[in-house]
Amino acid sequence: MVKVEEAGPAERRLDVLLCDPNPQRSRLTKQGMEEVSGVRCAVRATPAEVMESLEILQPDVVVCESHSQGAAISLAQLEGFIRTGHACRHDLPLVVLCDPEELPFHCALEGGATHFIDGSNTPTLQWLLRQMIQKHPPRPTLLVIEDDRDAAQLYAAALEKDFEVSIANDGQLGLEAWRRRRHELVLLDLGLPGMDGRAALRAILEANPQQVVVVCTLQDTIEDHKELLHLGAADFVMKTTGIPHLARVCVKVLRRMRTHRAAELGRSQSASLHQVADCVKTALQYQNAGVHSMAGVHLRRAALETASVALSEDSQAAFLSGLG
C-alpha cells in the first residue's frame, strides 16, 4: 500500500533573502541565521539575482550590508525597489547589517519596516529573526492527492513556501488523510486509481461543504469546468499551465475563501448584535414599567446571544452607543 506523506504540525517559517557578494561573509551570516529554528536563507550576490529573487522567491525578510562598496546592490537602491511594491510587499522587512561605528547614524534614520543592527553581533540578528517568526502566522495546511509521485513532489516543492504540505497517492488514502487532518486546502487530481477524483471530491464536500478544493485536470472544455464547479470545487487548474501558476492559484483561492468567510462571520455577528440590542431595550422598557420578571427574561436572552459573539473593542463601542 502506498503510504501517505504527512506533514508535521503547522510551524512558523521565515524565508530570508541575504544580499551579499562576499562568499565567506555570506556563508557565516547564513549559518548564524539558520541556527534559528524555522529560518531558511537564500543568498544572492548580483543586483540582477537580487531583483529576480525578490519577485520569484517572495521572501519574508531581506538582509543586506549597509555599505555600497562591494555590496550586491546599494542600500538606497534596494530599499527604494522594495518600497515601490512592484516585485514584493512594500512593507517587506529589511534588516541592514552595519559596522559598529556607523550604527548610531543609521539608527537615527530607522523607521517602519527597516531595521539597522550591528552586523558583527550575530545574537542580535538571531533575536530579531525570532521576533519576526513569532509574529509570522503558521502556514495553512494543504493536502495533495495525486497518483503521479514525481508530479506530487513537484507540487509540494512549489507549495511549501506558503503551505504545510501532505501528499497522498490515491483517492481513498487521500480521503482518509483529509479526515484525520482536515487540511485548509486540498489539491485534487481527477485521474486517480481506485476512488477517482470526482468521487473523492463528493465525499470530502459531503463531510464538509465549506472545504476548499482546487482540482488539477487535463480536461479543457467549458462543460468539464462547469461540472467541476457544480460539484463544489473552489477552482481548477490545468496541469499544462505550469507549476508556478498552480502555486499562485492555490494562494489566491485560499485568500479569496478566507475573505468570504470573514465577511460572512461579520454579517452573522452584526445580526446577533441587533438581536442583543433589541432584547436589552425591551428589558429596559419592562424594567421601567415595573415588570421585573419580563425584564429578566429578555436580559437572559441577551446574555445567551452575547455568549456566541466575540466582540472587538470597536464593535463593543458601536453596540453600546446603539443602546442610547
74 Rama sector, left if φ>0, alpha if ψ -120 to 50, beta otherwise: beta
Q: How far apart are the first and last CA of the chain?
A: 67
Specify if 26 maps to a domain.
yes
Specify if 259 maps to a domain.
no
CATH number of the domain encompassing residue 184: 3.40.50.2300
Specify if 182 maps to a domain.
yes
CA dist 87 and 283 (Å) reads 57
Which neighbouring-strand residues pair with 167?
5, 144
DSSP state of 77: H
Low-confidence winner among 80-94, 127-141, 272-286 (lowest mean pLDDT):
272-286
Q: Are residues 76 and 115 in the same domain?
A: yes
Specify if 292 maps to a domain.
yes
Which neighbouring-strand residues pair with 145?
168, 188
CA dist 74 and 92 (Å) reads 17
Under the banding of pLDDT at 50, 70 and 90, the label for residue 76 is: confident
Specify if 258 maps to a domain.
no
Which residue in this structure is represented by grid cell 542600500?
Answer: 75
277 Rama sector, left if φ>0, alpha if ψ -120 to 50, beta otherwise: alpha
Determine the pLDDT at residue 286: 81
Q: Are residues 91 and 145 in the same domain?
A: no
Which neighbouring-strand residues pair with 143?
166, 186
Specify if 254 maps to a domain.
no
Q: Are residues 271 and 228 in the same domain?
A: no
Specify if 257 maps to a domain.
no
Q: Which of 112, 135, 158 is the last residue of a domain?
A: 135
Q: Which of 111, 135, 159 is the last residue of a domain?
A: 135
Closest CA to 214 of 170, 155, 265: 155
Mean pLDDT of 284-309: 74
| Domain tally, the chain | 3
Q: Are residues 131 and 22 in the same domain?
A: yes
Q: Are residues 44 and 153 in the same domain?
A: no
Spatial neighbors of 281 by CB under 8 A, at least 6 apart, are: 323
More confident call, 64 vs 4: 64
Instruction: Return the H-helix or E-strand segment holding 145.
Output: strand 141-145
CA dist 262 and 251 (Å) reads 17
What 3-state DSSP class applies to 10?
Answer: coil
Q: Are residues 96 and 191 in the same domain?
A: no
Q: Are residues 20 and 129 in the same domain?
A: yes
Q: Are residues 30 and 131 in the same domain?
A: yes
> Would you state the cell numbers that stand for residue 306, as one nine-digit string?
452575547
Q: Average pLDDT, whole number, for the chain? A: 81
Under the banding of pLDDT at 50, 70 and 90, the label for residue 319 is: very low
Q: Are residues 199 and 155 in the same domain?
A: yes
Specify if 8 maps to a domain.
no
Q: Are residues 92 and 123 in the same domain?
A: yes
Q: Which of 115, 135, 155 is the last residue of a domain?
A: 135
Determine the pLDDT at residue 127: 95
> Would you state the cell numbers that stand for residue 140, as one nine-digit string?
495553512
Residue-wise pLDDT tens digits, 173-206 = 999 999 999 999 999 998 888 888 899 999 999 9
Q: Are residues 127 and 54 in the same domain?
A: yes
CA dist 304 and 313 (Å) reads 20
Determine the pLDDT at residue 214: 92
Determine the pLDDT at residue 17: 95
Q: Are residues 148 and 111 in the same domain?
A: no
Give the domain range for residue 219. 141-241
Residue type, 96: V
